Amino acid sequence: LSFSARSVDFGTVAAGVDPESKTITITNNGDSVVYLNYGGMKESASNFSVDLSLSSIEPLAPGESCTLT
């Protein structure tokens, strides 16, 4: 897998203010199908949200990309 960015910087954001969304593209540059799951987050879900452009049951085939926002 390759990622369009290794990290995302939201800068300083005041409490109660929604930061600007950031998007990372994930590309399967291997030769096998992979399944992505983002269920292992350490922060409270009320602090942020994550949107993966495919569900955890959809495969990411070799050569395909998806986005994580």
Res 28 pLDDT > 80 = yes
Residue 24's Cβ-side half-sphere holds a number of Cα atoms within 13 Å equal to 15
For the record, the structure tokens of 67 come out as: 């986005």
| Candidate from 5-9, 25-29, 34-38, 54-58 with smallest mean pLDDT | 54-58
What DSSP element (H or E) covers 26? strand 24-27
pLDDT tens string 30-54? 999 998 876 555 555 556 666 666 6
The token duo for 37 is: 């799951």
Q: Is the pTM of this model over 0.75?
A: no
Residue partners of 12: CB distance under 8 A and separation at least 6: none
Residue 51, phi then psi, degrees to nearest 5:
-130, 110
- DSSP-derived 3-state class of residue 25: strand
pLDDT of residue 67: 85
**Predicted pLDDT of residue 29:** 96
